[in-house]
Structure 1
Amino acid sequence: MKHSSGILDNKSLGNVVSELKENIAAGCTLSMVSALFSLYAYDELKRELAKINNFRLLVPSLNDEESFLNNLHGNNLDRRLRNRLDVARIARECSEWLKQKCEVRPLPSSVHQNLIHLAHANNGEHLAIVGSSTFTTDGLGIVPSEAHHMNTCFRNSEEAHSLIKWFDELWDSGRKSDDFGDILQEALALIYSDKTPQQVYFLTLFNIFRDFIGELDEDKIIKTQTGIKSTQVRQKLYKFQRDGVLGAIDKIERYNGCIIADSVGLGKTFEALAIIKYYELRNDRVLVLCPKKLRENWTLYTVNDKRNIMASDRFNYDVLNHTDLTRLRGMSGEINLETLNWGNYDLIVIDESHNFRNNPARKDDSLTRYSKLMNDIIKAGVKTKVLMLSATPVNNRMNDLKNQVAFIVEAKDEALKSNGIASIEQTLKMAQTRFNTWLSLDGSQRTTESLLETLNFDYFKLLDLLTIARSRKHIEKYYDMSEIGKFPERLRPVNIKTDIDTERRFPALESINRDI
């Protein structure tokens, strides 16, 4: 054993785990201040730790027990160790060792240094290591880490003895409670206990859908201080429509846009009005783009009109026609297109967005509705969020969807890379290829189930991220229909056959055809 103090950086100047392995001797006592405790760190030192008589663990800043317990499994640097799939064995052995030799005390206040102290080490003297390292694999230098650790190893018994006095003072100020020790043992038991097939199944489902759990928590999604809950438009919505509004706002805030593709008749316009009102209450400027024939459907709610059932909400959005995008001058309602600041809208709502499913290329670089919308509104000026409404976002091919998604991501193909979609174009291209393969199957094989199995997973991921699409059957299955009422049933078609010549002035077609 060296007798001089030194630096341990878990790199070229030595690591903590080697120092402990060298100096832990039979009958010694171990005292430790560490905010984290890893099972894999224990497993690396279990032979040495079995020799000690007593282990005191002081956990500082223990205001979040869940965080401490979650770190029992290690961190992302322990992937290689996790892949051995022996954490249950380690947890069971660690539990027994802690029961026999360990006392744990939580310390509510923080401690800026971690400490490992050995009393009666190999040479009978004290040894102390104080610094940044916690009792984890990267903290002890068991696995490589990019972190820059700085620890001082005091091999002089007198220096180390002064540190144990400091530890004793902290230990005495800690809470004497068996509760945390019991909680720690319960956490370890949860790791090493046998799991039923049902538990494994539920855990698998949780990890698949964990990103979507709680996504419709209203208090987390919307800023209630805006007063959106007291607006007339929100109060008129059914439960399924309110869920649609929440989901759309969540997607708009996360990914900059959303496509509401609910079936015809489910109230996409009312959902959009509630979303518009939410952003208006945040002082955002809103533009609605709609086909000319639907213009009055939108302008009605912005004027003082008896038919405006939401007059008290005082909507103040602008409305333009799709055709106005290629007009350079003139008036559209009360808006002067020549002087309009196209790039100053915070939110744009596109009704019947499937009209923008094509992005035609022109040799003369002349203005198209698509290019105007993309370049002068979405990409220009302030950051623009996008809400699209369409019952049929995909008409003929997946490229229809790609061109509409481009508005949300500002034509950046890798915009959703962090969400598991490396390339939007390639995802939709693969989906189109697989869809074509499905179309070529025999009629008996061309089923909905086979289509779902054929399409690539990242295609469904893309739909989950950016779209909300529900049918009447979906609403009937998952919502209380007593609030909504029964959807009207479509009557069976009645075929009416009439004669061309009811007054019998012309010969029958059969005789004319025979004469010809």
Structure 2
Amino acid sequence: MEPKFFDNRLNIVKDDLVKTIREGDSVSIAAASFSMYAYQELQEQLDSIDEFRFIFTSQTFTKKRAPKEKREFYIPRLSRERNLFGTDLEIRLRNELTQKAIAQECANWIREKAKFKSFEGDENMGMTALTVSKHDDTVSYMPFPEFTTSELGVERSHSNYGVVTRPETATSKMLLETFDKAWEDPSLVDVTDAVIDSIQTMYQENAPELIYYMALFRIFNEFLDDISQDVLPNERTGFRESLIWGKLYDFQRDAALAIINKLETYQGCILADSVGLGKTFTALAVIKYYESRNRNVLVLCPKKLKDNWLTYRSNLVNNPIAGDKLRYDVLYHTDLSRTRGMSDTGLPIGQINWGNYDLVVIDESHNFRNGGDTASKN
């Protein structure tokens, strides 16, 4: 058989596959991704074959994730998995809103005919090809990087001048032998069930709450992967058992945890809740957390708010959290510009070690930021 070439413009791969694939044939593909829309284009032919084998040429639909330091240097696995529901080039097909019916037909076909395998580790397969094993012949198409409508020539492609080759029979048989060896490689794992589970999400009925949570996960999953224990509150400090924590509403507790995360990650945070939402109590919960870790805390506030902050750290009957025994220091905004004398809070300004504080809480920071003239009025 003479080699044939397809530019996927004047002559396309799909037309040749429609003529080539017959009942009882076996189709073997090594490619980076699989699209259910490619299955739809060849549905009549693929429904009649005896066997369909697919090898993902690199890690896809496996539980093992790539190390964080490698992520910016490789094609994200999640992107390859999402191609199952259509690639960026198949946006027109996705916009037709026929995914549900196509997904159900594709899933049923996979259960009956297909098997998918993927490399679980760092291994990969350099060859990409589609091979049709017939009773008396072997036909192959290469390169075939993705089983998508664009590679079949039905949709536009990233490559304007790419050429797919249908080599002579001897080369096709060699490609099939290479695929057979790879298929038996112990480093390959069966991911057929994972593929089916993914496709099922396109047509199964889900509660609105599940859709909401799945949307949140899709948005924030990379962020969640990058969170380390170093930036999460240390539960061993027992800060949740403190008196101040017990007096917080749920939204204040969420704010306190978020503030701790931001402080550990970015070394700073602004709490900008509206008046009356309890910013002071939220800040006291954060202070209690850091004091539980033996950190030194300084509160900077306007002079008019002195009594509030001094009360919460004192052993007075009107202090609802006296049992937490907070020990933070209190200074005024205007104390920062002084080099001598005593603060009304009892601290000698000239003897303060400013670098000894691990956390600085600034109350009414808008006054603090507006400069000396505004701050001096407090």
What TM-score do the two structures reach when normalised by structure 1? 0.49
Contact 1:21 1:45 in 2 (8 A): no
Q: Structure 1 CA distance, aligned partners of 2:307 and 2:49?
A: 82
Give 2:63's aligned amino acid. Answer: D
Q: What are the equivalent positions in structure 2 for 1:327-342 lying under 5 Å apart? A: 327=337, 330-331=340-341, 332=343, 333-336=347-350
Other-structure match for 1:18: 12
Deviation readout 1:168-213 (Å, 9 max, x if unpaired)? 1222236999x854554454444234x3xxx464356447766899
> SS of 2:147's equivalent?
coil
Contact 2:232 2:260 in 1 (8 A): no
Structure 1 residue 169 corresponds to structure 2 residue 176:
no
- Cα–Cα, structure 1 residues 136 and 162, in superposed 2: closer, same or farther, change >3 Å? same
- Cα–Cα, structure 1 residues 204 and 105, in superposed 2: closer, same or farther, change >3 Å? closer
Matched residues, number: 337
Structure 1 residue 230 corresponds to structure 2 residue 237:
yes
Other-structure match for 2:70: none
Give 1:334's aligned amino acid. Answer: P
Structure 1 residue 112 corresponds to structure 2 residue 125:
yes
Other-structure match for 1:3: 3
The match for 2:170 among 138, 158, 164 is 158
Q: Structure 1 CA distance, aligned partners of 2:242 and 2:352?
A: 38
Gaps of at least 5 residues in structure 1 are 360-365, 371-516
Q: Structure 1 CA distance, aligned partners of 2:180 and 2:353?
A: 76
Deviation readout 1:82-106 (Å, 9 max, x if unpaired)? 2110001211332343345323445
Q: What are the equivalent positions in structure 2 for 1:333-412 lying under 5 Å apart? A: 333-336=347-350, 348-353=360-365, 367-369=372-374
- Cα–Cα, structure 1 residues 252 and 93, in superposed 2: closer, same or farther, change >3 Å? same
Deviation at 1:321, TM superposition (A): 1.5
Contact 1:117 1:160 in 2 (8 A): no
Deviation readout 1:31-57 (Å, 9 max, x if unpaired)? 013453221232344355456453212
Other-structure match for 2:147: 135
Q: What are the equivalent positions in structure 2 for 1:181-260 lying under 5 Å apart? A: 181-182=192-193, 184-193=195-204, 195=205, 199=206, 201-202=208-209, 205-206=212-213, 223=230, 227=234, 229-230=236-237, 235-236=242-243, 237-238=245-246, 240=249, 242-250=253-261, 257-259=269-271
| Aligned-residue identity in percent | 30
Q: Structure 2 CA distance, aligned partners of 1:284 and 1:335?
A: 21
> SS of 1:191's equivalent?
coil
Give 2:256's aligned amino acid. Answer: V
Give 1:322's aligned amino acid. Answer: H
Structure 1 residue 37 corresponds to structure 2 residue 50:
no
Which moves more between the two structures, 110-119 or 199-208? 199-208
Other-structure match for 1:46: 43
Q: Structure 2 CA distance, aligned partners of 1:152 and 1:100?
A: 29
> SS of 1:126's equivalent?
strand
Contact 1:330 1:338 in 2 (8 A): no
Q: Structure 1 CA distance, aligned partners of 2:264 and 2:160?
A: 36
Q: Structure 2 CA distance, aligned partners of 1:162 and 1:263?
A: 75
Q: Structure 1 CA distance, aligned partners of 2:215 and 2:173?
A: 52
Other-structure match for 2:62: 63
Contact 2:231 2:261 in 1 (8 A): no
Q: Structure 1 CA distance, aligned partners of 2:82 and 2:219?
A: 21
Give 1:202's aligned amino acid. Answer: E
Q: Structure 1 CA distance, aligned partners of 2:219 and 2:126?
A: 38
Give 1:293's aligned amino acid. Answer: K
Contact 1:222 1:246 in 2 (8 A): no
Q: Structure 2 CA distance, aligned partners of 1:95 and 1:340?
A: 66
* Greater Cα radius of gyration, structure 1 or 2: 1
> SS of 1:257's equivalent?
coil
Deviation readout 1:198-255 (Å, 9 max, x if unpaired)? x4643564477668999xx9xx686488756325686332164544421333466688
> SS of 1:82's equivalent?
helix
Q: Structure 2 CA distance, aligned partners of 1:248 and 1:348?
A: 13
> SS of 1:30's equivalent?
strand
Q: Structure 1 CA distance, aligned partners of 2:87 and 2:272?
A: 39
Q: Structure 2 CA distance, aligned partners of 1:130 and 1:260?
A: 56
- Cα–Cα, structure 1 residues 175 and 108, in superposed 2: closer, same or farther, change >3 Å? same
The match for 1:293 among 304, 329, 347 is 304
State the structure with bigger RCO (CA 8 A, min sep 6), 1 or 2. 2
Q: Structure 2 CA distance, aligned partners of 1:128 and 1:281?
A: 66
Contact 1:38 1:74 in 2 (8 A): yes
Contact 1:40 1:74 in 2 (8 A): yes
Gaps of at least 5 residues in structure 2 are 65-76, 317-321
RMSD: 5.3
> SS of 2:271's equivalent?
strand
- Cα–Cα, structure 1 residues 292 and 223, in superposed 2: closer, same or farther, change >3 Å? same
Give 1:246's aligned amino acid. Answer: L
Q: What are the equivalent positions in structure 2 for 1:246-325 lying under 5 Å apart? A: 246-250=257-261, 257-259=269-271, 261=273, 268-276=279-287, 278=289, 287-295=298-306, 297-298=308-309, 309-310=323-324, 315=328, 319-324=330-335
